[in-house]
C-alpha cells in the first residue's frame, strides 16, 4: 500500500466506501480530528486527510503531521478550513464543487414550496382539528408571486430552472454573474430584490468573518410576510434577528437547512421561532450523492498524491 488516507470522523460513520474507492493504492482509516490534540495523534503517518464540515482552524492545521500533503473536502463549501494557513503549511486543498448541485437545488425548492404552502401548520391542523383549516393561515398563489434568488452560480441557476413553471416571477441578485438566464430577471441591488420578493432564497458562499448578508437591516427591508430560505450557510443570516422577526410576524416563514452553529445549542432562539422548517444540513444528500462525494474525494486525493490532476473536483489551494 502506497499511501494512508485519514478520514475525519463525523458525517459518515465508516470508511467502507472510501477504502473500496482506494483499493490497494491506499489504506483508509477513520480518526477523530475534533481538537488540535486529536489532529496531532490522528494524522500521524498520514499522506492525506479527508473532511466534511469538520473545522480545520489555523491551530488544527499547524498540528497536522508533516507527512500530510493533501486535504480533501468531501463536499462544496470551504468555510470550515483556514485556507491561508493551509497554503502556509504547504497543504493542497481539494474539494467537489458540483457533486450535489441537483440535490441542494431540489432541497431549496422543497423548503420554498413547503413554507409557501404552510405544510408545517397544515400537518399540525390535520392531526388535531381538521375542520379548522383556516388556522393554517393565508396562502397566496405562487404563480402571482416573486421568488428572489441571491447568488446565480451552479445551485442558484438550478433553483431558477426548477421554479420556472411555478413562480410568477424570478428575480436574481448576483453582482458577479455575467448573465442571468431568462426568464429570470436581474435585480440591480440587494435592496431591490428584498423589497420585491415574496420568497428570498440564498445561494452564495460564506466564510467565517463575513458579516451576515441578511442582517437585521436587510431582514427589515423584506416585504411583510416574506419567506426566507437558506440552504447555503448559517452565517449568511443574522439568525437571532430572524427569530425575532418571525415571532413578531414580520417575516412570514423560514426554511433553513443550515444554522450558525450545527447542531444548534439548546435554547438557540431560532429553534422556538414560529413557522420555521428546519433540516439538519442534508441539502447535499441523496443515495447517489453520498457515495459520489466519498469516492470522488478519495480518487482526487490519490491522483494528487501521485502527481496527477484529478479529472473532477477543484484544487482550491495548490501545494
Ligand X SMILES: NC(=O)c1ccc[n+]([C@@H]2O[C@H](COP(=O)([O-])OP(=O)(O)OC[C@H]3O[C@@H](n4cnc5c(N)ncnc54)[C@H](O)[C@@H]3O)[C@@H](O)[C@H]2O)c1
Q: Rule CB under 6 A: is residue 152 a binding residue for ligand X?
A: yes
Question: Under the criterion CB under 6 A, does residue 100 sit at the interface with ligand X?
Answer: yes
Helical axes 101-116 vs 119-128, angle rounded to 10°: 50
Tell me whether residue 281 is one of the annotated catalytic residues: yes
Distance in Å, CB of 148 to ligand X, minimum: 11
Helix (H, G, I), strand (E, B) or coil at 62: helix
Smallest gap from Cβ 199 to ligand X, in A, equals 16
β-bridge partners, 73: 51, 95
Collapsing DSSP states into helix, strand and coil, what is residue 4? strand
User: How far apart, in Å, do the first and last CA atoms of the chain sit?
Assistant: 23
The candidate with the shortest Cα–Cα distance to 17, out of 3, 4, 32, 28, is 28
Phi, psi of 127 (to 5 degrees): -85, -20
- Told to judge if 262 belongs to the known catalytic residues of this protein, a careful annotator would answer yes
For position 290 contacting ligand X by CB under 6 A, the verdict is no
* 144, 262, 306, 318: the active-site residue: 262
Distance CA 181, CA 183 (A): 6
Q: By CB under 6 A, how many residues form the interface with ligand X?
A: 30
Residue nearest to ligand X (CB): 153
Is residue 178 a contact point for ligand X (CB under 6 A)?
no
Pairwise CA distance, residues 79 & 40, whole Å: 22
Whether 107 sits among the annotated catalytic residues: the reply is no
Q: Give yes or no for residue 232 binding ligand X (CB under 6 A).
A: yes
Taking CB under 6 A as the binding criterion, the range among 27-35, 113-121, 228-236, 237-245 that sits at the site for ligand X is 228-236
Active site residues: 233, 262, 281
Interface ranges with ligand X (CB under 6 A): 76-77, 97, 100-101, 104, 150-156, 173-177, 203-205, 213, 231-233, 257-258, 281, 283-284
Amino acid at each position: 500500500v502506497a499511501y494512508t488516507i485519514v478520514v475525519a470522523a463525523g458525517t459518515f460513520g465508516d470508511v467502507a466506501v472510501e477504502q473500496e474507492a482506494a483499493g490497494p493504492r491506499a489504506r483508509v482509516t477513520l480518526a477523530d480530528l475534533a481538537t488540535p490534540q486529536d489532529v496531532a495523534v490522528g494524522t500521524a503517518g498520514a499522506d492525506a486527510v479527508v473532511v466534511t464540515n469538520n473545522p480545520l482552524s489555523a491551530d488544527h492545521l499547524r498540528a497536522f503531521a508533516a507527512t500530510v500533503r493533501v486535504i480533501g473536502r468531501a463536499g462544496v463549501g470551504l468555510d470550515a478550513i483556514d485556507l491561508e494557513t493551509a497554503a502556509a503549511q504547504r497543504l493542497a486543498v481539494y474539494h467537489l464543487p458540483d457533486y450535489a448541485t441537483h440535490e441542494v437545488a431540489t432541497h431549496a425548492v422543497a423548503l420554498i414550496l413547503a413554507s409557501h404552502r404552510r405544510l408545517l401548520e397544515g400537518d399540525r391542523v390535520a392531526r388535531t382539528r381538521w375542520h379548522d383549516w383556516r388556522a393554517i393561515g393565508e396562502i397566496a398563489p405562487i404563480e402571482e408571486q416573486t421568488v428572489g434568488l441571491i447568488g446565480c452560480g451552479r445551485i442558484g441557476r438550478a433553483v431558477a430552472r426548477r421554479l420556472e413553471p411555478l413562480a410568477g416571477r424570478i428575480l436574481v441578485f448576483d453582482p458577479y454573474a455575467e448573465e442571468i438566464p431568462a426568464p429570470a430577471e436581474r435585480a440591480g441591488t440587494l435592496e431591490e430584490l428584498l423589497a420585491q420578493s415574496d420568497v428570498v432564497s440564498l445561494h452564495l458562499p460564506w466564510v467565517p468573518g463575513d458579516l451576515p448578508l441578511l442582517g437585521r437591516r436587510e431582514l427589515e427591508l423584506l416585504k411583510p410576510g416574506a419567506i426566507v430560505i437558506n440552504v447555503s450557510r448559517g452565517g449568511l443570516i443574522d439568525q437571532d434577528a430572524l427569530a425575532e422577526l418571525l415571532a413578531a410576524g414580520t417575516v412570514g416563514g423560514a426554511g433553513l437547512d443550515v444554522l450558525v452553529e450545527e447542531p444548534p445549542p439548546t435554547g438557540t432562539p431560532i429553534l422556538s421561532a414560529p413557522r420555521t422548517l428546519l433540516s439538519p444540513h442534508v441539502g447535499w444528500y441523496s443515495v447517489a450523492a453520498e457515495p459520489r462525494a466519498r469516492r470522488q474525494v478519495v480518487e482526487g486525493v490519490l491522483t494528487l498524491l501521485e502527481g496527477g490532476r484529478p479529472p473532477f473536483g477543484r484544487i482550491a489551494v495548490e501545494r
